[in-house]
Structure formats: structure tokens, C-alpha cells
Structure 1
Amino acid sequence: MISKCFISLSILLLSICGLAQKKRSDVFHADYLYGRIMRHSPQILHLIQGPTHGILFSWERKTYGDKDWQQLYNYPSYGASLLIQDMGSPELGRVYSLHGEYRFFFWERKLSLKAGLGAGYIPNTYDPETNPKNTAYGSALTASIIFGLEYRFENIFDLPLDLKFGGFLVHYSNGKTKSPNTSTNNYGLQAGLSYKLSEAERAYKTSILEPVSTSWSWDIIAASGANDSGIWGEANEAFLTLTTSVNKRLSHRSRLNLGLDAFFTPSVKTFIQYRASAFPEEDQFQGDEDWRRVGLFLGHELYLGQWSVISQVGYYVYYPIEYLDREYIRVGLRRYITDKFYVSLMLKSHYSKAEAIEYGIGLRL
């Protein structure tokens, strides 16, 4: 069924593209995805029943170096995509997701690496009565991260049509906003067609970039959101994360950060109280332990114009109880409103176990 839908929608998409006026350097893609779910947790083994199938429709707009940062990355493109995936088991069902994407090009622009971030909708979530086996998806809304590596055979049949194939990785997780949230990592192969709507051929712009200041700076960040304790059926609780860091700009592309986090997470307090009352014989928790944590982290910021990609590795220096792992990871995006003020979206995890999605605001001094 999903293969027939892919073929029909591909023909419709290419027909629409063929009738459109060639005013912009845009590309439209239609891909078929075949894959598997990674066995990253024993809690989802019963859900891995068959291969996954998907259709992916994408829009891509080329850049030509009108902005300086585009020249630094070999003129990447940006766009959006719609992904419809059958996850291979009746318990998981289908996932519908939308992404914003960037593509980076190599090997005479025939090879591209795609990275996208978005949100997904899951109709068939966990339900204690109707779907008790779905330990992967506890909420109808989920974050979606997609990566793809593609090779294109350009202008087949002397038409503005490309044939492409490659591999993909898709991650679905709600960031522990509602348990269960074992999440899924789906990987596999993809193949498809691209139709190019091109204006008159444009030259890629090159210019000498102005030197960037490599001075030190200081950031103050406040972030919040809501998560649960990992106990099924518990309500979300709002949390607060306060961060300060010193930063060293290295180049036009990157900056290093060394910082300190203070985590005020009431769901940890709920976890302590639950364990103390439900498993008193273990004598692991008394119920009145401190639920706050402090972490030291090392991070990197990769600049893409007014956007940047954040990656951080941290270690709790104040860790009063055993909760998840002592090491933590944060990855996400930052959007600069001005040179000194920005907003951010970050996913905090402990290896494969997500803890929170953080929405933050920051000031650089």
C-alpha cells in the first residue's frame, strides 16, 4: 500500500513541478525508504517485528554565497520535508513528521549530507488498555531528527531529473515529556527522484571574509520545559536549568564553551519519593534526599549564519542520588536574535536515555 502511494504521489509531484514556472533554483524530491529499527534497548525488542517502509517528500532551495557563511560550507541548500513511515508492527503503527533541513555537498556536489529537525505525529501511542505493548511512544507528539547521505546521478535522459540513492537515520523521541519513551532509531536505504526548477544559471559568489574576533565571552542562560520522572502515568512537572559559561571563539565556524549547569528538576524529587515508598526494602532512598544537581560541561558551537548547532558533554559534580547516569549530553539549535541575545532548543540525554527538552533564552556579555 505504501509503495503504491509513493508512486502515485511521486507522479503527481513531478507533474506539478513540470507545470510550474522556472523562477527559482529549487529542487523537489520523492524518495522511498526501507529500513530497520535498531535494538538499542531490550524494552523494544518485542516491537521490532518487520522492516519499516516510508515515503519522503522534500523541497530544497540552493544557495549561491549571498551570505558569507554559505561560502564557508560549500554553498549548502536548505528546505523542508514530509516523512510518512510504517514502523513495521501494529503496536507502533505509522509516524508522520515534518522537518526543516540543511544539505551539505561534497564530491563535485554529487554527494550530499542532509540533517533535519522537526516534529512528528503518532496516532497509535501507548495505552494501558488498547495498546499496552507500545513502550516506545508515550505521546502523540514527538521530536523527529533525520539524517541522510545521498548520491545523485544528474540529468538522466537529458532532463532536469536526478536519480539518487543513499542511506538514512531517523530518531523519534518525546524527550521524556511523557512516559513510556523508549524511542526508536530507524536506519536503512533510500532511493528516489529529484526534479530541478532552475532559473538562469548562476555563478557561486566568492569573497574575502572579514576577520572574526577571537576574544573571550561570557554567557548566562535560563532554560525550562516539562518532563516526568519515568514512572508511567505520572504528570509532567516544570523544571528550571540555569547555565553560565565562558566561551572562546576559534574561527568563523566554531566556538568552544566551558560551563556550569544547575538543574532544578522536580520530577527527580517525585522519583525519589516513589522509590522510597514503593520499594522500602531496598533501602536505597529515604524520600528526603536532595533532588538538585550541578554539572560541569565542555561544549562546541558550530555557526550557520544566525543559527548554530550546539553539542555539549557534561559530568555532575554535585550528584546526591543515583538517577540515570552521571554523564550527560546536550545537543540542539541556537538562533541569534541579535549578536548578544539568542533563543535555544536543546535535548538533554544520558546516552540513549532522554531526560528533557529545554527551551532557553541566553545573553552574551
Structure 2
Amino acid sequence: MHNKHLLIVFFLLLANTSFAQTWDFLKADTTDANKTYPRQIFGQTKVHFGGHFSTGVDGLEEVERNYFSALELRVGWKGYGRKKWHKLFGYPNYGLGLYQATFFPEANILGSPSAVYGFFNAPFRRYKKWSLMYDLGVGLAYDFFGYDPKNNPDQTAIGSEFNVYFTVSVEGEFKISPRIDGTLGLLFTHFSNGRTRTPNKGVNLYGLNAGIKYNFNTYIPKKGSQFVEKKKDPRLKYIDHTFDEFKPFWEYYAFVAGGWNTSPYDIEDRDLYYGVATIGLDVARHYSYKGKYGIGIDVFRDGSLVEEYKSDYPNGVPNSKLWYAGIHFSHELLIHRITLVTQVGVPFAYVKGRGGWYARVGGRYDFTRKMFAHVALKTPGGFIADFVEWGIGFRMYGKNKDPRM
């Protein structure tokens, strides 16, 4: 039987396997089955001010020695315990935002990026009058002036008009009035395209942010609007929850992913693309309601490896040189239906131009208990982008001896 037939059989078996665990805690978890708990909504404005980390590109020195400014507009929900997983993360805030930066001088070869993103904001620790928070945002950035060999040849830092937007900040949050909260923090922001278009040195920013958050009245679906006196605090009290003792269990999953990348050497050929693909097989141990660790095998096919080996094979690079495998170790953070994945791996054999190790950072979204979407950035040694994986996966669980299941 050919390997492709074995893979087909494997995925059919995996997709039809019954689960010993009939319902995953983090996916079904809610205190609001009757949808009577109100949603606590807020609006927020943030301003950023800071500088650029150098890309080493001569044409960007004028931009990078100047400061930047940015404005964020956010709409979000306060996780006060309407669902039990809120307590696991210290009652977080999450929602959607718009971002607009201005790079100086405004007439520059890099542009002034905008972004649409989702954010997750949760406490390291809450104190009596303030909280120390971490804030993560991921989305799509646009309005860059990408590299172009004819029209923008000096901008060799980033090759695309559209890029991934990633920002992380550590900030203090404090109450200003019954409805208004303030924030002040340190930030780091990164833009890149995962080598879907070279050059891809990325753009990195650092600085300060300050924000104002307005807490709206709550709304109860079955009772209509809950009117709150103007001077009354509309913030809902946190709902406390108790959890049964967690009993660890095993998970087995596989995914297939594809994508593309471009040449790391020939940035002038704008029509040159290479196909990439990944097959991953993993086993993971859930150690708590929030996380799991594991080990897995990767099989990669990277079409751009033809550029690494073409000097060794002047008559044509054999297809076998475009394939390689490795073993990785992972940690996965579970936030309701979203999983944040971090992995470090080692190839089984030497791969020219890819270093002695690789990493994967990304996320998964659970459509069902059996099926998930997979998006991740795979990097060779040194955290320089290799390619972005877009895929789908299937999972099954080992027998859980928890009597509640």
C-alpha cells in the first residue's frame, strides 16, 4: 500500500474514533445555558508613542531615527464569569480593534500601517486599586509601501502591502470614575508576512501606550435594558466558580497544512513562488484545564529548498531534497476554543540553509471536538520566517478514568 493510501486510512480512522471524554471542559463550559446573564461591553481608546528597532536597511534610516505615533479604537467584552473559563484566566477582557500608525516623516518609503485585529487582555495580578495586565493583539495590517524593484527599490525591509500585525504590552489598569478606567503600559509591535513575499526583515516598534476605557450599561436579553443611574458603577461583580479536581489525560492528533513562500535571495522576481506543505502527528498530555504539553513528528516539503541545493545539483535538484522530517516538543495554552501553540523541533538529518533546529508559533481554532483549523509560522534556527502553515486537523482522546466522564 502506498504512503498516501496509509494517510487516507489513518485520517478516516481518526475522524470516526469515539471519544472516551464525551465533552471537553473548555469548549462546553458555561454558566449561561439559558442566556440570561448580561454581556458587559466596553469601548476603549489607546494612543501609542515610541521608536523603531533598526532593520539595517540603509533606505529606512530616516524613518527609523524618528518616533512613531498610533491610535487604537477597541470594542470588547469583560469576562466577569459568565463562562467558567473566565475565572481560569483571572476574568479577562477580549474583543476587536482598529489600529492606525503614523511613521515620520509622513512622506516615507515604508508607509503608515493600519490594522484590524482581535485582542486578549488578562491580569498577571489584581490589587485593591489597580491591576497589572498583559495584552495581546493579532490581526491583519495594511497600508504598507511594499518593496518594488522599479517603484520602491530602496525599501528592502518588507516586501508586501499586507502583513501580520502582532502586539504585546504589559500595562497597569486603574479606576478613574464609576464608568471609566485608565491604562498605562509598555509595548512591542511586530509586522511581517511570514515570507509569503520577500524581503521580510519585518518592522518592529517599541514604546508606551495610554488608554481610556468606558464601561457601558449591561444588557439582559430576557429582561431588556438594565438601566443604571448615571453615578452608579455599571461593572458587574465577578462570579466565583469552583472546579472539580483535574485529572490528566492524553490526546492524539494529526494535521495537514499547506502554503507558499518566496525566494530569500531573489527579491526582484515578483512572480517566483514555491509551494510548501506539512504533515504533523502529535501526542499531548493535558496537565490542567488551561494547558497541555506534548511531542510530535513533522514531515515538511519546502519547494524553496531548490535554491539551497541547485549549486550541488546543476542538472536539477532531486525531489527528495525538498522533503525533510523532524521531532518537536510543544506547549499549548487553551483559551476556550482557541489554542496557542509554541513548539521547538530538531530535524532528523541536516537540511542545507535551515540551521540545526526549528520553531513553530501559531494558533488553532476548534470547530468541533474532533476537528480544528491550524495556522502557524514555521521558522528555521534564528526565528527568521520560513513559511506560514494553513491547515486542518483531527483529534481523539485517550481513555479518561475520571468517573465524571
Q: Report whether the alignment pairs 1:306 with 2:337.
A: yes
Identity across matched positions, percent:
26
The answer (yes or no) to whether the contact 1:44–1:136 under 8 Å persists in 2 is no
The answer (yes or no) to whether the contact 1:347–1:357 under 8 Å persists in 2 is yes
The answer (yes or no) to whether the contact 2:145–2:160 under 8 Å persists in 1 is no
* Shift of residue 26, structure 1, vs aligned partner: 2.0
Amino acid corresponding to residue 214 of structure 2 in structure 1? Y
Amino acid corresponding to residue 130 of structure 1 in structure 2? N
Change (3 A) 1:159 1:249: closer
Query: Which one of 334, 337, 343 corresponds to residue 373 of structure 2?
Result: 343
Please report the TM-score for the alignment, with normalisation by the length of structure 1: 0.84
The answer (yes or no) to whether the contact 2:276–2:387 under 8 Å persists in 1 is no
SS of the equivalent of 2:187 reads strand
Q: State how far apart, in whole Å, the 2-side matches of 1:272 and 1:163 are.
A: 55
* Shift of residue 159, structure 1, vs aligned partner: 5.4
Q: State how far apart, in whole Å, the 1-side matches of 2:39 and 2:255 are.
A: 39
1:279-290 aligned within 5 A: 288=317, 290=321
Q: Report whether the alignment pairs 1:253 with 2:290.
A: yes
Which residue number corresponds to residue 205 of structure 2? 186
Amino acid corresponding to residue 111 of structure 1 in structure 2? L
Q: How many residues align?
A: 331
Q: State how far apart, in whole Å, the 1-side matches of 2:59 and 2:47 are.
A: 25
Which residue number corresponds to residue 393 of structure 2? 362
Q: State how far apart, in whole Å, the 1-side matches of 2:308 and 2:163 are.
A: 23
Which residue number corresponds to residue 81 of structure 2? 65
Amino acid corresponding to residue 355 of structure 1 in structure 2? D
Q: State how far apart, in whole Å, the 2-side matches of 1:34 and 1:24 are.
A: 32
* Shift of residue 213, structure 1, vs aligned partner: 4.5
The answer (yes or no) to whether the contact 2:345–2:358 under 8 Å persists in 1 is yes
Please report the TM-score for the alignment, with normalisation by the length of structure 2: 0.76
Which residue number corresponds to residue 32 of structure 1? 47
SS of the equivalent of 2:305 reads helix
Which residue number corresponds to residue 5 of structure 1? none
Query: Gaps spanning 5+ residues in structure 2: where?
Result: 1-37, 219-233, 397-405
The answer (yes or no) to whether the contact 1:95–1:121 under 8 Å persists in 2 is yes
SS of the equivalent of 1:354 reads coil
SS of the equivalent of 1:110 reads strand
Amino acid corresponding to residue 73 of structure 1 in structure 2? F
* Shift of residue 284, structure 1, vs aligned partner: 9.6
Q: State how far apart, in whole Å, the 2-side matches of 1:313 and 1:57 are.
A: 35
Amino acid corresponding to residue 288 of structure 1 in structure 2? V
Query: Which one of 121, 146, 156 corresponds to residue 125 of structure 1?
Result: 146
Q: State how far apart, in whole Å, the 2-side matches of 1:100 and 1:287 are.
A: 45
1:146-295 aligned within 5 A: 146-155=167-176, 158=177, 160-199=179-218, 200-230=234-264, 231-232=266-267, 233=269, 234-273=271-310, 276=311, 288=317, 290-295=321-326
Amino acid corresponding to residue 390 of structure 2 in structure 1? Y
Amino acid corresponding to residue 99 of structure 1 in structure 2? Y
Which residue number corresponds to residue 26 of structure 2? none
Q: Which has the higher contact order (CA 8 A, sep 6+)?
A: 2
**How well do the aligned residues superpose, as a CA RMSD in angstroms?**
2.2
Query: Gaps spanning 5+ residues in structure 1: where?
Result: 1-22, 277-282
* Shift of residue 340, structure 1, vs aligned partner: 2.3
**1:84-119 deviation line (CA, Å, top 9, x unaligned):** 112345121211111101100223352221111111
Which of structures 1 and 2 has the bigger CA Rg?
2
The answer (yes or no) to whether the contact 1:269–1:291 under 8 Å persists in 2 is yes
Q: State how far apart, in whole Å, the 1-side matches of 2:372 and 2:143 are.
A: 31
Which residue number corresponds to residue 358 of structure 2? 328
Amino acid corresponding to residue 268 of structure 1 in structure 2? L
The answer (yes or no) to whether the contact 2:330–2:342 under 8 Å persists in 1 is yes
